[in-house]
Structure 1
Amino acid sequence: MVILYIISDRIYLISMNLGVFALLNLGIMMHSLNIRPVYSHIRHEVLSDIEGIFLMSPDEGISAEYIYITNYQVFCESVRNNPIPDKATIVIADFDDELLQNADKSLMDDKLDYNLIATDTSLYKLHNMLNRYLISHKNLLLNLHLHSEYGISNLIKLIGKQMNASIILMDLNFHCISASTLVSDDTPLKRNFDDHGYLNSKIVTGYFLDEQILKAPITAKVSDDNMFAYFSPVHVNSEIEGYLLATSVNEEPYSRDTFYTLGVQLGNCIASKKENINFKHVSFNSIIQDLTSEETPDLDALQLRIKQLKIKPKPYMRLVVTEFARRLGYTEDSVLKEAHRIFPNDNMTFHDHYLIVMITGDTSVFPLKYVKDAFELFLKKYDGRAIISRPSSRTRGLRVFYFQSLHTLKLAWRLNTDPESRSELFSRYCVYHVIDVCSQYISEVDKSSDIIYLCHPGIVEISRYDRAYNSNLRQVLFTYLLNDRNIAKTSKELFMHRNTTIYKINKIEELIGEDLSDGYLRFQLIFSCLLIRFFELGQEKEVQFTSYERTRNKFKDKTMT
């Protein structure tokens, strides 16, 4: 049959068999019609190529291309006279519990390869209900077929308007591909999607209370606020390639069929390449999971996936890795929502309780454009600390920098190099990171785990003096060297009088016995200070020096002379 449509002065020729109701879901049809089954044996739930409804006759053969309605007496006569083909569908009307108890068990065997449903609905009512349903289903198919020429988003808007529902088409990672949402929709699912642009399997299965929904033909739920929610996988060439979610303020009689049929039509559109849709939308969460996995991932493939992110990254990438000291009654959703305000143009996700943000730039020295004060307030509010990795243009470097940042976070909590800042560049802790890694192997190489043997002897002398006289010469030296031996800056930072600083520097030079103008010496002294600081604060160990009493006496003797 050829149908001519004229819409907005444009002519469409559609060739289709109006007598065929492709992919009719029997379970959804029975639920939509509110038909209570007294007995149900559904062997083939999805009916293909159904041409209509027949009243069963004992004198006529049965075809799998029709749905047959009958009563129990005619059904028994027909089965005796004509074999029932596989995949046939028969609905028995006027059937009750008493008939079920006395029914011929051989005719209602669960091993039979056809669909058999018995209901207490009257024969005439059942016939009319099914006919109206099939007419509505046929009109829906025709409407979807016609509007599919305009693309997937048009189909979703059409059904959203028809169902008075918010409808979201998502990829396998629950990221939005296309959507039509209602302003009045205020369900938890819709709010979460509005906030983040994606859901996750825990949110979906937690809402519907069943992990099987990810494979079920369609699942519906009524929420506490009387909103109806529908969830269904979308199949492309028999494989699940995405999900369809709808939330509505009411449930129309044929809502489930409409929603299910939309999913089928969307799958057909994608399979037929009518619209170039990247159904396997790349999720930043999935990238981070692969990037941080124990086994080394395919880094080249990961590089391509990063380029396909919804928020397009620039060539050079840094990771901001944030850890929260303890749970303060917040949810990951609330944290992400606030983090999005600070990093509005960056990809982010939670992974193993760490908040991961990927900030990007055009060069390896790109500036950090987020508002540091806002980030510091955010970290203080949620009792968090963040390490900002070095930049990399390749996933290989990004993977290394992630693990560096993760390891450094543990040190940052203890060392706290800057009490005024909760976020630091990795470079601030790089030396501590190297010391920590090396400390794990020192006993194998040096045959001793005593850190004192790695320090410059001048720092050992100063540390002994500090312990003997409860002074702070090592801190003064460290600050002095970090400030390029500037007396004024050192005094200001340590809140000391200039003359006191000069006196202590002279004492330090006396104990070291070397000229601080030597650049390599200054490097060794700074490194030794960091080494001792790492073990005292990072490892919470006290560095063991030699006998203090003998050292103290030596210092006393020097002082007397």
Structure 2
Amino acid sequence: MEYQIFMSKLKEKGYQPQIFGHSDNVCDMINVRIFDPMRPHFESSSLYLTSTNTMPAANTNAEFTLMCFGERLDFSVYEQSCFTILYFGTSFSQAALFNTAMELLTEIQQITAGMHLLLNASFSGKGLQYLVDTASRIFGNPIYVVDLQNKYLAISAGIVPDNDFFREESKSGYISKQGIASIRANHLDEMVRKYNHPYYYTSELVHTGMLVDAIHIQNIEVGHVMMLESEHPFEDYVPDFFHRFCKLVSLELQKDPAYTRNKGVMYSYFLVDLLRNPQNNIENLKERLEVLGYNLKSSFYIIAIPPSAQSSSHLQLEVILEHLKRIFSGSIYVIYEDTIVFLINKNLYQGFSEYELSQLKEYLAANNLKAGISNFYQNLEDTSRFYQQAIDAINLGLKLNTSTPLCYYSDYYVYKMLEIFEKEDTEIRFLIHPGLMNLYLYDQEKGTDFLNTLQEYLKNPGQSSLVAKNLHVHKNTLLYRMGKIKELIGSDLTQGDDYMNMNLSLMIMKYLNML
């Protein structure tokens, strides 16, 4: 046990020794011995106990810690000594001091042994759950880790308290409304922050004591660890040991970028949970958001900026996120797998405002970024699927060399179908309408630009003047071209199916970089 820790433990037990000799003690003590004046050999790792009648010589050249009792001496002779003297006066016996020292050193030995096991668990790479399970076996009590949104990040396995309240909470994965009300009524969060060490609290809901400590990432509080006193009563050394364990929990959470990059951000962890665990109990999640004051509306969109859409930008993710937060106020956002993700919350039929889209487009274009926007959806459990839509929109937009910074999945879903079909059949070029292939080959052979003329015509059906203007040709020239085009494709383009077939074939050609 380090000297400073030993001294603080003595003060906790009511001892106030006077200190003489070496003031900058850095000894790390592991055992206690009765000082034998006949064998004056000293080790810094030992704590020595003696009466003032058998003190070692002041000029003893060794660093160690000495506890002494009895009639007061002239301690001024020890001012330059290499060792530290703790003088307890005449009110304590040798037996009392020896037992106290043994008790304190035994505590730290138990902590040291336990920390050895916990460090092995932490370095095993098996994650938070394994660390919590290991700690629960060492402490002999159930342990719970929760984030600031009252979601259980880990619940120790094996030791289950005989309590219906905790059993139900464990199933839901969240602290219940009743539990949150109790925490707030007892100012539990404030007490943990105030004391900066494990806080002992007796819950009226479970009629059991518990230790609660905060976990931090880069000095920002991200959650709490709770241990129930349900199986074994807490011994004196447990709070100190528990506090050290909580620091390991903090280190374990720092391995997860979802916590390091979104530390302290309200609601962010809910979005991470939706993306990672789409089958979770959505009603419980909605309830948690409601408790935290978040107003869920009836429809949602996902906006995503994955790494592929950031490659040409010089900005850090946190900088981009900070700006976009101002555009989409009231949204839930997170940095997930190096991707900026926004869950946009809207009323049905509301959609994005012109301001939101113009601001987003302007910012993305100015910083060489692209964003994917999913279709709208109404069930939160579908969030991971619509997140994938936003990612697919970006990837397809990049594949097709689109110039716009906004990639709507609704503009790319046919290309997604082609991508899926391509995995089954590599020759998707065979799906191109034969009439359109005739036109493509005719352009290749004759050097004409009929394919481009057809594309423009299909974009603006029935608007010959506009098509001619866009192509910078006379209207009569356009009519001549369209006559030749209809001849080559074998269709007069009077039926809706003709438009659909030609547009689909053009999309296939674009997907295959034939255009």
Q: TM-score range by the shorter chain?
A: 0.5 to 0.7
Matches within 5 A, 1:114-129: 114-115=104-105
In the alignment, is the contact (CA less than 8 A) between 1:231 and 1:246 conserved in 2?
no
Partner of 1:424: 407
Cα distance change on mapping 1:72 and 1:396 into 2, 3 Å: closer
Instruction: Give the one of 444, 462, 470 matched to 2:439.
Output: 462
Q: Distance in 2 between matches of 1:232 and 1:535?
A: 63
Shift of 1:338: 1.4
Letter in 2 for 1:424: C
What is the DSSP-based 3-state SS (H/G/I as helix, E as strand, rest coil) of the residue aligned with 1:384?
coil
Matches within 5 A, 1:80-91: none
Instruction: Give the one of 478, 482, 500 matched to 2:455.
Output: 478
Instruction: Give the one of 534, 545, 554 matched to 2:511.
Output: 534
Q: Distance in 1 between matches of 2:494 and 2:319?
A: 53
In the alignment, is the contact (CA less than 8 A) between 1:465 and 1:471 conserved in 2?
yes
Shift of 1:345: 2.7
Cα distance change on mapping 1:232 and 1:505 into 2, 3 Å: farther
Letter in 1 for 2:341: I
In the alignment, is the contact (CA less than 8 A) between 1:516 and 1:522 conserved in 2?
yes
Q: Distance in 2 between matches of 1:313 and 1:235?
A: 36
1:359 aligns with 2:344: yes
Partner of 1:9: none
In the alignment, is the contact (CA less than 8 A) between 1:389 and 1:401 conserved in 2?
yes
In the alignment, is the contact (CA less than 8 A) between 1:459 and 1:512 conserved in 2?
yes
1:437 aligns with 2:420: yes
Shift of 1:290: 2.6
Instruction: Give the one of 98, 110, 113 matched to 2:103.
Output: 113
Shift of 1:242: 5.3
Q: Distance in 1 between matches of 2:311 and 2:68?
A: 62
Q: Distance in 2 between matches of 1:494 and 1:466?
A: 16
Shift of 1:36: 4.1
Letter in 1 for 2:297: K
Shift of 1:401: 1.2
Q: TM-score, normalization: structure 1? A: 0.49
Partner of 2:387: 402
Structure 2 portions without partners, runs of 5+: 1-6, 32-46, 55-65, 70-74, 86-93, 108-144, 151-191, 202-209, 221-238, 244-262
1:238 aligns with 2:238: no
1:286 aligns with 2:269: yes
In the alignment, is the contact (CA less than 8 A) between 2:373 and 2:389 conserved in 1?
no
Partner of 2:333: 348
Q: Distance in 2 between matches of 1:327 and 1:232?
A: 46
Q: Distance in 1 between matches of 2:68 and 2:358?
A: 72
Shift of 1:112: 3.4
Letter in 2 for 1:238: L
Cα distance change on mapping 1:457 and 1:334 into 2, 3 Å: same
Cα distance change on mapping 1:97 and 1:108 into 2, 3 Å: farther
Shift of 1:510: 0.7
Cα distance change on mapping 1:308 and 1:425 into 2, 3 Å: farther
In the alignment, is the contact (CA less than 8 A) between 2:372 and 2:407 conserved in 1?
yes
Deviation track 1:299-321 (CA, whole Å, cap 9, x = no partner) reads 55445455556653322111111
Cα distance change on mapping 1:36 and 1:100 into 2, 3 Å: closer
Shift of 1:355: 1.5
Cα distance change on mapping 1:246 and 1:484 into 2, 3 Å: same
Partner of 1:491: 468
Q: Distance in 2 between matches of 1:458 and 1:76?
A: 114
In the alignment, is the contact (CA less than 8 A) between 2:300 and 2:346 conserved in 1?
yes
Cα distance change on mapping 1:492 and 1:27 into 2, 3 Å: farther
Q: Distance in 2 between matches of 1:76 and 1:514?
A: 118
1:511 aligns with 2:488: yes
Shift of 1:435: 1.4
- Aligned CA RMSD, in angstroms, stands at 4.8
Shift of 1:533: 0.6
In the alignment, is the contact (CA less than 8 A) between 1:231 and 1:244 conserved in 2?
no
Q: Distance in 1 between matches of 2:11 and 2:340?
A: 42
In the alignment, is the contact (CA less than 8 A) between 1:172 and 1:243 conserved in 2?
no
Partner of 1:386: 371
What is the DSSP-based 3-state SS (H/G/I as helix, E as strand, rest coil) of the residue aligned with 1:399?
helix
Shift of 1:534: 0.7
Deviation track 1:314-353 (CA, whole Å, cap 9, x = no partner) reads 2211111123332644322222221122222322222222
Q: Distance in 2 between matches of 1:409 and 1:438?
A: 19
Partner of 2:315: 330
Instruction: Give the one of 281, 297, 318 matched to 1:314.
Output: 297
Shift of 1:285: 3.0
Partner of 1:268: none
Instruction: Give the one of 27, 32, 39 matched to 2:27.
Output: 39
Q: Distance in 2 between matches of 1:298 and 1:341?
A: 30
Partner of 1:272: none
Cα distance change on mapping 1:372 and 1:497 into 2, 3 Å: farther
Deviation track 1:365-409 (CA, whole Å, cap 9, x = no partner) reads 534354323212211233111121111111233221111211221
In the alignment, is the contact (CA less than 8 A) between 1:232 and 1:243 conserved in 2?
no
Shift of 1:422: 0.8
Q: TM-score, normalization: structure 2? A: 0.53
In the alignment, is the contact (CA less than 8 A) between 1:462 and 1:512 conserved in 2?
yes
In the alignment, is the contact (CA less than 8 A) between 2:468 and 2:475 conserved in 1?
yes
Cα distance change on mapping 1:434 and 1:41 into 2, 3 Å: same
Structure 1 portions without partners, runs of 5+: 1-23, 44-69, 78-89, 118-170, 177-217, 220-229, 248-259, 265-279, 444-448, 537-541, 544-561
What is the DSSP-based 3-state SS (H/G/I as helix, E as strand, rest coil) of the residue aligned with 2:50?
helix
What is the DSSP-based 3-state SS (H/G/I as helix, E as strand, rest coil) of the residue aligned with 2:412?
helix
Shift of 1:75: 8.4
Shift of 1:490: 2.1
Q: Distance in 2 between matches of 1:466 and 1:234?
A: 80
What is the DSSP-based 3-state SS (H/G/I as helix, E as strand, rest coil) of the residue aligned with 2:370?
strand
Name whichever of 385-394 and 469-478 sits farther off.
Answer: 469-478
Deviation track 1:113-164 (CA, whole Å, cap 9, x = no partner) reads 32599xxxxxxxxxxxxxxxxxxxxxxxxxxxxxxxxxxxxxxxxxxxxxxx
In the alignment, is the contact (CA less than 8 A) between 2:271 and 2:332 conserved in 1?
no
Deviation track 1:278-306 (CA, whole Å, cap 9, x = no partner) reads xx999543233233338854455445455
In the alignment, is the contact (CA less than 8 A) between 1:390 and 1:426 conserved in 2?
yes
Cα distance change on mapping 1:244 and 1:521 into 2, 3 Å: closer
In the alignment, is the contact (CA less than 8 A) between 1:282 and 1:305 conserved in 2?
no
In the alignment, is the contact (CA less than 8 A) between 2:149 and 2:288 conserved in 1?
no
Shift of 1:522: 1.1
What is the DSSP-based 3-state SS (H/G/I as helix, E as strand, rest coil) of the residue aligned with 2:51?
helix
Deviation track 1:261-287 (CA, whole Å, cap 9, x = no partner) reads xxx9xxxxxxxxxxxxxxx99954323
Deviation track 1:404-452 (CA, whole Å, cap 9, x = no partner) reads 21122111113244x3x311322111211121122212x2xxxxx3223
What is the DSSP-based 3-state SS (H/G/I as helix, E as strand, rest coil) of the residue aligned with 1:334?
helix
Q: Give the number of aligned pairs.
A: 330
What is the DSSP-based 3-state SS (H/G/I as helix, E as strand, rest coil) of the residue aligned with 2:27?
strand
What is the DSSP-based 3-state SS (H/G/I as helix, E as strand, rest coil) of the residue aligned with 1:516?
coil
